Every structure is written in C-alpha cells, then in structure tokens.
C-alpha cells in the first residue's frame, strides 16, 4: 500500500481535478440531444406503426430525464433539452408513407399520425423538463421547441427565405419531394440543388444549414426555447 502521505496527496489532487471539472461544466452550455428521433426512426422504418412506437415514448423521455440529472450532478448548469421534429412534414416520410387519402394529411400537407407521435413525445418531455426545473433550482434547464420552429417554417416559408419546404435539396426522383430510397443524397443518381438556402430539407430527413440557422436564432432569443438561452 502507498504511504499515507501519498494517499493524502492523491486525494487532494483528485479533489482539485474534480473542482476544476465542475467549474468547467458549470461554465459550459450543453445541448442535450435531440434524443428520441432516431429511436422512432428505427421503429417506424422497422415496420412498427405509430401507435406501437408511441408506447416507447415514456421510456425514451425517462431516459432523457435521467441523463440530464446525471449531467447536473456532474456540475452542469446550463442545459438545453430539445424535443423531436415534425417528422410528418419530412420528404422521407411523405414519400414512403404517403397515401391517397386527404384525411391522412393536415392543412399544410404533413402526415398527421407521424406528427402526432412527435407532439406526444414532446408533451411528455416538456412535463419532464418542468419537473427537472422545479427540482434543480440552481440550474438553467431549458426546453428547446424543435417542433414549433420547424412547423412554422413549413407554414410560412417565405418569412424565413424558403421557396421549398417539402422538396429535398439533395436527392433524386424529382416531383414534390425529390426523395428516393434507392438514390438518397450521396448515392449514385442523386444530386444537390443549386440553392440549398432556399430549401428547408437538405436530404429528406435532415434540414439545411439555413434552416438550422433559423432554429439557432429561435433558441438563443427565446422564441423557441423556454427560457431563451441568452435570457
């Protein structure tokens, strides 16, 4: 065994590192996620229907909450917890799960049942974040509303400088969505549009840099983050 003086020094060094780490974390901004989206993607593209996928939402949200608590326990103070996006408005879902029934679509042209899954997840997550805010008064735990920000871009694209919200910039197949699983962005047969900044969707499932810039602004100033990051 090490001499007691060595053990004493080791403990002091470990404590100093721990204090330094906590100080570093306390002065950092954490974007915790977005988590959940890929869980639902895996299920929905793996032959689960939206009702089946929704049964996992409480477990997914509880796991996110537990992760936030671990981060706060390590010393984090500013934690942004984003919800999931309106996947029913995404070209990949609109192409693969499109139907001939107008009743399956909302007024903007998005698939309702997929957006309902997102809003269900987000309602659970908002309740979880509210509980964490009440529990950890010394931390700033913020809910970032990915859904509302993106849905508003679909509703009012010109307000954000977009001329296309349903057409993937990088893809193949043309038509309303320009998405084909057999020739996705990066695959043979796919190509990118000339002006990505005018599109909401980059490749059918991810957004363009221009869209993420709008989302970032909304999170910083508080329009789509509660409370706003810079408030």
Q: What is the Cα–Cα distance from 24 to 6, expressed in whole angstroms?
A: 27
With respect to residue 105, please indicate whether it lies within any of the assigned structural domains: yes
With respect to residue 141, please indicate whether it lies within any of the assigned structural domains: yes
| C-beta of residue 98 within 8 angstroms of C-beta of residue 120 | no
Q: What is the Cα–Cα distance from 21 to 27, expressed in whole angstroms?
A: 10
| C-beta of residue 121 within 8 angstroms of C-beta of residue 36 | yes
Condensed to tens digits (0 to 9), the pLDDT of residues 156-210 reads: 999 999 999 999 999 999 999 999 999 999 999 999 999 999 999 999 999 999 9
Q: Take residue 123 and report the two structure tokens written for it.
A: 């309602």
Q: What is the tally of structural domains in the chain?
A: 1
With respect to residue 159, please indicate whether it lies within any of the assigned structural domains: no
pTM over 0.75: yes
With respect to residue 47, please indicate whether it lies within any of the assigned structural domains: yes
pLDDT confidence tier of residue 10, bands split at 50, 70 and 90: low
Task: Write out the residue range of the structural domain in which residue 31 sits.
Answer: 21-149+210-226
Q: What is the Cα–Cα distance from 51 to 113, expressed in whole angstroms?
A: 9
């Amino acid at each position: 065994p090490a001499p007691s003086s060595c053990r004493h020094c080791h403990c002091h060094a470990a404590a100093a590192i721990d204090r330094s780490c906590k100080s570093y974390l306390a002065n950092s901004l954490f974007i915790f996620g977005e988590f959940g989206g890929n869980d639902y993607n895996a299920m929905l593209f793996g032959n689960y229907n939206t009702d089946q996928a929704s049964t996992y939402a409480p477990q997914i949200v509880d796991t996110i909450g537990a992760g936030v608590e671990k981060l706060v326990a390590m010393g984090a103070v500013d934690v942004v917890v984003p919800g999931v996006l309106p996947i029913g408005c995404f070209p990949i879902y609109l192409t693969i799960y499109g139907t001939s029934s107008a009743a399956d679509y909302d007024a903007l042209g998005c698939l309702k049942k997929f957006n309902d899954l997102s809003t269900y997840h987000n309602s659970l997550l908002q309740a979880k974040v509210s509980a964490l805010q009440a529990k950890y008064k010394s931390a700033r735990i913020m809910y970032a509303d990915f859904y509302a920000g993106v849905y508003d871009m679909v509703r009012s694209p010109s307000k954000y400088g977009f001329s296309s919200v349903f057409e993937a910039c990088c893809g193949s197949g043309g038509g309303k969505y320009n998405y084909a699983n057999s020739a996705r962005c990066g695959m043979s047969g796919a190509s990118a549009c000339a002006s990505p900044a005018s599109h909401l969707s980059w490749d059918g499932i991810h957004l363009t840099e221009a869209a993420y810039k709008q989302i970032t602004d909304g999170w910083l100033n508080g329009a789509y983050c509660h409370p706003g990051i810079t408030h």
